[in-house]
Amino acid sequence: MSALMSESDPALMQEVFDAQGSTALRWRTSTAAERIARLAKLREVILAHREALYQAFQQDFRKPETEVEGSEIVPILDEIRHAIRHLKGWMKPTRIRPTLLTWGNRAWVQHQPRGRCLVIAPWNYPLNLSICPLISAIAAGNTVILKPSEMAPHVSAVLARIIATVFKLEEVAVFEGSLPTAQALLDKPFDHIFFTGSPSVGKLVMAAAAKHLSSITLELGGKSPTIVDETANVDQAAETILWGKLINAGQTCLAPDHLYVHEFVKARFLAACQKVLQARYGSSALAQKNSPDLARIVNPRHTQRLQAMLDNAVQRGATVLAGGEVDVPQCYVAPTLIEGVPADAALLQEEIFGPIFPVIGYTDLDQVIEQINRQPKPLALYLWTQDQARVHHVLAHTSSGGACVNHCIVHVAHTGLPFGGVNNSGVGSCHGHHGFKAFSHERSVLQGGWLNSIRVFFPPYTAARHRLIRFISDRLA
């Protein structure tokens, strides 16, 4: 079987898909030691390609090496470490106590690999969001076809080399390509599909999966709101929120999308933000543009989109408080704070996915909650406050995939927490044990024992038997 992955080659994809079917059957009985060995080998080869990854990210995003390490490699290493440490326990059957109706029998839940899995990864974190679901799939005993994004071609090429070094094609294969490749793969009856991307494309993936009744995990996005109330630690909020907003030039599904800040602290918060921007990226527009610590937008088309959103808001009366510069050929958008954006402007209606931060002053928290609830459910919600009653109030009256209080984004790094969206922002969860379960079928097993209590329900249905069953019903009521 050739290792060459050409764009949308139906014969090659079918060959790999068929071969992985046989492997998936063998891997169904794979041991924890075998799966751990695969994960350990993957970790070893990723680290061997560290310098190549630095160069690839520089070519695709001008992404700083430290940011590559912190946002791409560290999460992968932590996910592998966590899986290796806990995999034996995850794989053990879970004993279930008998109920009144099943007394005398044994029951347990067995975690079976789903089988052949498809992972479609996005361009914004092309290594992290390719490898982390792969780790969960391998830990659960599955084969994988991985489709990375064509919009980060240099990272995709290194990723393909890593996978080819660790796995045979009939185990894990990478198909590089664009929309035709993705469509051809989605036509196949995978046992599970894991997609990370936009809600609009997620709907298409869900429709394709429905044709084969494939199970799915959809990690999507949305406009994640941030609230800074009048009790918040303003300096800490500014430092942390701007980190979350500007990492990877704002091209993060979890990034704080827009900010509600109480009028009582708004001026202090904005002043703190200005200080953070100058301290981190330079005191002038030119210094910030030349900063080695700011990544670039992925391509000119996405840069033009951000420029159009920004221009539209300004033309309609919004005020740029910081930044505002856009250089399309250089794929550069300055870290930008903007206020007075009309409610129906694109900046407040579409997921921004860039370093532009609309600021909205407020005095009534319940009105903010009402505005949040009028929008599709976001992937995350961030609240900065020292009032614990307010924490409970906001969490009780809003819905989001995840939430942070006096922090942002870091909940995705907690391998013990389920990471995922809700409705428009996603379906299903991943990371750690939750990722293992996403790629596993939880099979219920019951084994009959010494007391076959179900005989009570056998015909013939005599009057005495009816009274006995009715007595059981009354005990259950």
Active site residues: 219, 253
- Rg of the chain over all Cα atoms, to the nearest angstrom: 26
Side chain identity at residue 172, one-letter code: V
> Peptide bond preceding 460: is omega within 30 degrees of 0, i.e. cis?
yes
Side chain identity at residue 317, one-letter code: G
Q: Is-contact 187 209, C-beta < 8 A?
A: no
Side chain identity at residue 456, one-letter code: V
Tally of CA atoms within 13 A in the half-sphere of 96 that contains its CB: 17
Beta bridge partner(s), residue 194: 119, 217
Whole-angstrom Cα distance, residue 124 to residue 331?
14
Instruction: Report the SS3 class of residue 114.
Output: coil
Tally of CA atoms within 13 A in the half-sphere of 286 that contains its CB: 0
CA dist list (Å): 376 to 116, 207, 213, 221, 317: 32, 20, 26, 10, 26
Rounded (5°) CA angle 239-240-242: 75
| Torsion on CA atoms 404, 406, 410, 412, rounded to nearest 10 | 0
Q: Is-contact 136 438, C-beta < 8 A?
A: yes
User: Can you read off the two tokens belonging to residue 144?
Assistant: 């994988």
- In sequence order, the 6+-apart residues with CB closer than 8 A to the CB of 127 are 53, 72, 73, 76, 155, 159
Q: Is-contact 354 306, C-beta < 8 A?
A: yes
Counting every residue written for the chain, the total comes to 477
Whole-angstrom Cα distance, residue 438 to residue 205?
17
Whole-angstrom Cα distance, residue 286 to residue 359?
24
Whole-angstrom Cα distance, residue 262 to residue 390?
14
Whole-angstrom Cα distance, residue 473 to residue 360?
58
User: Can you read off the two tokens belonging to residue 117?
Assistant: 């899995």
Whole-angstrom Cα distance, residue 438 to residue 86?
16
